[in-house]
A and B are shown apart, each in its own frame.
Chain A
């Protein structure tokens, strides 16, 4: 079992926190701040004790399988759900806690929905104008036009939503949310209704637009590539808990829990035994234990799971480690092999397709890296 540890800055436990010396600064700059937020529906925890901070101007991304509560969390920040305990703060002001809730319409938080939710009876311009109260007619109009041109829809001002393509509707939704200059922008699976190709280009554009307007944003998605493309900070939600909150690179290379390790990217686990706190012994030999980032506490003698990414394995005829090909999957430049070690443990290996190994063929392999991430079993 991975020990569930949810620490706010990835640094509390780490003794080698050179990457995170800015944690204190981050804390001071925290713009959106969730502290031990729990949300319950009908007596059942949907989210339990979630904490993280997002700095001003950053784009955060919550990633998780469907049903993990990520949309609920977003809706709580927007003010559509109340929290059972904990608090949500924005720019130092409490938005939600156990005792008080600021109504959604008073939060000045913009939101972009999965289905865009454009008002079907209003033109593009009027959709964008909708949230611009308290401005003179001309001011509102020039602000709306500015946003519409920013999202690249200058000559679509008069179009009705149903006349637009999915990508265009998405842009209108973004312009409408940004028009009142929200203190925070929330995006709920904003690209899931689009073609894969459009998704990539649009997510780049959206990041650009959000950065340009200097808006702090939090996005929810189940697509990790989308999250990697958009996020400055990335959180992985699973089983009601925030498993990790860190940069995308760290989440991939220093996963905080076994779930994160298997959910982000591909990976297999093989057994290992801790020789000392810094060394682990496996079928593939001895490894240094990776001590960057978050890790679970283990002592020597503990049996642990060792994370191996498919690209961590390379072929080496000099190696003394032999593995049998159990299945293979052609991917163009590479084959993805499932290999079986002599003790029956299986692992994935991504090998160049110049060599086409047959099923049951024995090949010699070795690990590429000398340090690995381990999890207590």
Chain B
């Protein structure tokens, strides 16, 4: 690293390491999460964390909410009671049992259920751990398909789990996870990793954008440009903020892995602890972080150079951030149809590739060529944006007090 680039790198790194928001995001958040979990563990006499019943997840061991017993009021006459579902004659009886604490909630299957498919769950107050679709779903399925054997029932419950394999592979590279809730478990596992990547990426690039605009707004840029070339300034910044982002990502990953591996978890979280991170996932995550960071840093560098104020930059940043989070909006597609064209497209499109591919490698086998192509496209896109940043992160734009008009951009690019 040459002198001026190193000076910029060092100054920006030190300045931002002292930034409270960065310290809070990078260190305090995972630390706080650990402390909360440790605290909760201390409160539990069994030395295990209280179970959390998450929607759709069958927790190993005894039920974790209330006394484990729920009620059922069936107006269709199609469904009997079950071990964990006490049948009541009418709503009043179920309400009374709830008031007495005999049950923690009750399901109401109205008379028009066969046509509407609507089932209600009633509880004294909204309680996340009480909300459960799994028990009533299984009960309804079992009752409706009374004549079917258990394997057919299982297929009815979960028609398929698509695993994409290379042609010569003999079987899936990873077997099913613990319990019957592998899909939901996978979602639970990938979210922390994907969020860690996403937040590190966006926060770091956001800081870079702020940093560039701050220098423009305060006019420090004029002093800097009388000493440095714009390229040197940009390179120092990209390296410094990239290092910050990488540090934040590593802190968060360490926090997540500590939670998953060190603490005795119970309920659905216990299943998480059994989740084995696929081999190569972490290095791949770092590769995607670096490439995606270069892409976003270049994009935000361009926006910073073009923006005249702290208000303008973030508004335009949405152009890049919104597409990037699409893979999170359609997470279920990654589980239910990992080989679908949508998933493939999101995995290859450079803006969505980091979050999309990370989800895929965490929950299913991904053909190597797809990973390679995705990285190649991301690399190419980053290179193009870095070139554009090099063209636009220049004296004319940095010293200008206004955002250039669209028609002026070709001229600026030509130099």
Verify that A and B bind, or say they do not. Answer: no
A interface with B by C-beta (< 8 Å): none
Residues of B within 8 A of A (CB): none
